[in-house]
């Protein structure tokens, strides 16, 4: 218990990074109520004033709890999008892993009209994360291409791009799919909207030209970039974690982002959340970090396949975690790693890595990489 309290105190005092947290604990980066106070900061706000940010996030989670109760706090994460509107009376959760969308309201007056507005907002939310404040109930300016375009079909099996179609589908859902439940002693009206079966593939196509450009620029295979994005965010451009990781490739500004700025781009400082919420910047930065892993931190790994396994593992748990799998002594670790066949390196990194999350991570990425190549043929 003391160690847990120390961890939370250290995070609040120093800021959190994936490497710092994983050096102490195996962490599932999906959002939980327990870690609501340590959410990543808002785009463009409180980049230096951490006290102001902590106050803001406490207020955000407190507003949710006031409306929905302590057991019904939902917050955006790596593979889910959550947005509150209507002074926290209505919300949407898109679960990209399950392919489901739940839109609900606890408004006590004219609940169907509140729900209708929330459905329309969900269907027309733009594909521009920098314009959507995930950590407030601010309204969204509905313009440009919807980020759920082609991933949801209306009652006529048509994609929803325009306001008239979104309005009509909202009316249909309320007339035919409306459900009611009790939330914190309140009546909640909601609808469940299924996403199309190939919703992940549809989102991945949006970034094909960006992935190709980054692949050629840094010499990192396209299939590896796609597999990392699928593992990190399920191609959710709004992905954010309490560990201060942002966007499609879940780049941590203070670690990978800072390294890329300094060692690849010759820039000072670190990327801002706005910078990383831009898909092109995010994929470029994440791929550039792979370039550093390949050509700097793990350049001593001789076998190309062993190097790839090491890079994948290091993207999640750091290069130090990879080497510590083989020995605490860096020179000996590299020697031992190079003495093994690639399948033995894979076995060690998926069975003996200090972090259980990093062990699973390498398995997921290699699986998605195989799936990507199988679907290409």
| Tokens coding 282 | 């995010």
Which long-range contacts (C-beta less than 8 Å, at least 24 apart) are formed by 265-270? Answer: none
CA gap 215, 226 in Å, rounded: 10
Radius of gyration for the chain, computed over Cα atoms and rounded to the nearest angstrom: 22
CA gap 168, 153 in Å, rounded: 12
The backbone region for 234, taken as left when phi is positive above 0, alpha when psi lies in -120 to 50, beta otherwise, is left
Write the CB contacts of 131 (distance below 8 Å, at least 6 apart in sequence). Answer: 140, 141
Contact (CB, 8 A) for 201 and 207: no
| Residue 93 appears among annotated catalytic residues | no
3-state SS, residue 179: strand
| Tokens coding 261 | 């700025």
C-alpha dist (Å) from residue 370 to 138, 169, 248: 41, 37, 20
Residue 114 burial (CB count, 10 A)? 20
Among 353, 359, 363, CA closest to 320: 353
Q: Which residues of 85-100 are buried (b: 16+ CB within 10 A; e: fewer)?
A: bbebbbbbbbbbeebe
Write the CB contacts of 52 (distance below 8 Å, at least 6 apart in sequence). Answer: 46
| Tokens coding 259 | 């390294």
The three-point CA angle 313-315-317 to 5° equals 65
CA gap 116, 267 in Å, rounded: 46
User: Among 19, 22, 104, 232, which one carries the catalytic annotation?
Assistant: 232
Please name the residue that has the structure tokens 């989670």: 61
Which residues are part of the catalytic machinery? 232
């Amino acid at each position: 218990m003391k160690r847990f309290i120390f961890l939370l105190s250290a995070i609040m005092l120093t800021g959190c990074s994936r490497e710092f947290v994983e050096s102490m604990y195996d962490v599932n980066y999906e959002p939980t109520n327990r870690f609501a106070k340590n959410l990543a900061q808002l785009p463009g706000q409180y980049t230096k004033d951490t006290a102001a940010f902590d106050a803001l996030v406490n207020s955000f989670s407190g507003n949710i709890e006031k409306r929905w109760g302590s057991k019904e706090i939902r917050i955006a994460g790596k593979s889910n999008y959550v947005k509150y509107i209507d002074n926290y009376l209505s919300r949407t959760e898109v679960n990209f892993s399950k392919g489901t969308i739940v839109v609900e309201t606890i408004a006590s007056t004219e609940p169907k009209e509140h729900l209708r507005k929330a459905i329309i907002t969900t269907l027309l939310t733009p594909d521009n994360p920098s314009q959507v404040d995930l950590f407030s109930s601010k309204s969204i300016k509905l313009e440009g291409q919807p980020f759920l375009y082609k991933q949801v079909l209306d009652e006529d099996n048509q994609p929803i791009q325009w306001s008239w179609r979104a309005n009509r589908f909202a009316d249909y859902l309320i007339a035919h799919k409306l459900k009611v439940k009790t939330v914190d002693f309140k009546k909640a009206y909601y609808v469940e909207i299924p996403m199309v079966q190939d919703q992940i593939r549809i989102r991945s196509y949006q970034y094909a030209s960006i992935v190709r450009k980054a692949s050629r620029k840094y010499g990192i295979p396209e299939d590896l970039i796609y597999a990392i994005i699928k593992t990190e965010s399920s191609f959710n451009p709004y992905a954010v974690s309490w560990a201060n990781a942002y966007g499609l490739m879940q780049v941590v500004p203070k670690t990978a982002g800072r390294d890329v700025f300094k060692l690849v781009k010759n820039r000072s400082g670190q990327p801002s959340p706005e910078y990383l919420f831009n898909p092109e910047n995010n994929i470029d930065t994440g791929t550039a970090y792979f370039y550093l892993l390949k050509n700097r931190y793990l350049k001593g790994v001789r076998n190309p396949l062993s190097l790839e396994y090491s890079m994948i593992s290091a993207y999640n748990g750091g290069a130090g975690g990879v080497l510590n799998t083989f020995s605490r002594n860096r020179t000996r670790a590299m020697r031992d790693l190079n003495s093994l066949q690639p399948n033995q390196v894979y076995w060690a990194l998926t069975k003996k890595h200090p972090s259980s999350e990093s062990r699973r991570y390498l398995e997921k990425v290699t699986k998605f990489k195989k799936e990507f190549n199988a679907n290409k043929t």
